[in-house]
Homo-oligomer: A and B are copies of this chain.
Amino acid sequence: MKIAIAQINTTVGDFAGNSAKIITGIRQGERAGVDVVLFPELAISGYPPRDMLEKPSFIEGNLRAIEAVAKETRGTAALVGFASRNESKDGRGLFNSAGFLHDGSVKFVQHKTLLPQYDVFDEGRHFEPAKEHEVYEFKGRRIGITLCEDLWSKHSFRGRRLYRVDPAHLLKEAGAELIFNISASPFTVGKQRIRYDLFSAEAKSVGLPVFYCNMVGGNDELVFDGRSFVLDAEGRTVCEAQAFEEDFIVVDSDAMGKPSDIVDLPEEEEIWRALVLGLSDYMKKCGFARAVVGLSGGIDSAVVAAIACDAVGPDKVLGVMLPSPYTEERSLRDAERLARNLGISTWHVPINEIYETYRRALGYSSKDAGEVSLAEENIQSRIRGNILMAISNREGSIVLSTGNKSELSVGYCTLYGDMAGGFALISDIPKKIVYRLAQYANRGGERIPKAIILRPPSAELKPNQADTDSLPPYDVLDPIMRHYIEDRMSAEEIVARGFDKDTALRIIRMIDANEYKRRQAPPGIKITMKAFGMGRRFPIARKS
């Protein structure tokens, strides 16, 4: 049996566009003499649809679309993800389903069994789990259909198995000869190896080949990295699709070819490409053609600008320099050089005069410039935010805020100031990784000037300021942050790893105290196991 995997990039709610992509994939399969083409989970509706699923008109649009796509099928079948109604009067009203379409209609539907409800996933909010697991026989082959998490039943989540049901085994018992899996599995660093290990163990355990189709593309905070694959009955990869782009691969289940390992991308490369895809899709899907970035001469804004150039092209990126009385000359020089390297236009808007009028209005003495208060630092940052937003308002461009995860975690950032923007591109990137991304940006020659990379980080909101005036060095901050947020360690456990107790407690206190800032942050792209945003839900008013 010839099986194709169509790794497509869908948009939530774009039934017409998503259907067109699916039909294109079916035609491509027909031309290649394929028996069945696999499309991702919820390909019809886009993923994650979130509470759009509560709108009856959304469900109807999705059902009309799957029927219309089915009408386009002839001998080549398609396996397509969509939301189906639960006709029973109790339980949740929907299923997360895979429709097997051929010869003009939906012939068979398998619902998803294991519904993730951790981190960014809310599937138990909308979907009822499948109770039945039947195989579908097509062209003499008995096919077992699973959706994403259905093959994650063996996974250990912080030492626990979440699920008691193992859909692949139920399907094997029902006579399956092949396992199909359609997924919407978002990227995090190193995720592909986790998927491979899990799916490979599952293939071996049931002794069946696995055809896994993942989606690709950015949707708000999530980037789907594609990298669909086919495993033989011994769990070895026989084919892997491209990372971070659409792809179409064909494998004959009767001649699966020589096994080889999955491709491990270097960490910097996979992060860079995730950010490029996530940004370009966010802009495209939200209707922005142009981006604007405040260039401080620091490394964060340099990396953001470079990624933006790769995402939408330098002619679509504007760099704005917004010097204050505390901006050093070399910051402007470095920013100018960066802009020349990247080939982007720049605009200079000095904020001194605006800053002074604010200070007067608020009753600050005109003499007293030596001691800059926190309020005055924030005013500078917010003036910059306002100017970038005014440019965005005028030109219809999106402001990319430039804060990294280290700053955002400890609140070393200003609400409505440097946090202002439509998209917080690197808000899940720890500062140490920002440096590695800067090196990666320069892999083919200088794009980010060395001076920017080498200079000690500073917010330049008062004279001779350095990040280390307020924060521990990032060598210390970053691992403590990771242990606390990603590994959910307590202060005691972190200290047991060899970190200074006062430093650890101070960082934890800062992280806890800044929930209110993060609540108002723009969306950013998740690349770690635990990003701020939809997958991390903490109360603001609380103790401990």
Contact = CB atoms under 8 A, between A and B. Distances in A.
Contacts of A394: 373, 375
Nearest to A115: B124
Given A50-B539, A52-B538, A544 B350 contact: no
Given A393-B374, A539-B50, A58 B544 contact: yes
Given A90-B160, A521-B520, A542 B393 contact: no
B13 A543 contact: yes
A90 B361 contact: no
Interface string A340-383: 00000000011101100110111000000000011100110011
Contact of A542 (B12, B353, B360): B12
A382 B358 CA distance: 12
Nearest to A540: B220
Contacts of A360: 353
Given A488-B55, A542-B285, A161 B50 contact: no
A325 to B, nearest CB: 14
A522 B521 CA distance: 10
State which size class the interface on A falls in.
35 or more
A534 B523 CA distance: 15
A286 interface: yes
A453 to B, nearest CB: 30
Interface in A32-58: 46, 48-52, 54-58
A92 interface: yes
A189 interface: no
Q: Most chain-B CB neighbours within 10 Å: which of A349, A391, A541?
A: A541
A540 B520 CA distance: 15
Nearest to A373: B394
A490 interface: yes
Contacts of A117: 117, 122, 124-125
A219 B539 CA distance: 8
A298 interface: no
Interface stretch (A226-234, A415-423, A430-438): A415-423
Contacts of A54: 488
A360 B352 CA distance: 12
Nearest to A355: B357
A385 B125 CA distance: 36
A76 to B, nearest CB: 28
B393 A416 contact: no
Interface of A: 11-15, 17, 46, 48-52, 54-58, 61, 89-93, 117-118, 122, 124-125, 158, 160-164, 218-220, 281-282, 285-286, 349-351, 353-354, 357-358, 360-362, 373-375, 378-379, 382-383, 385-387, 389-391, 393-394, 415-416, 420, 422, 488, 490-492, 516, 519-523, 534, 536-544
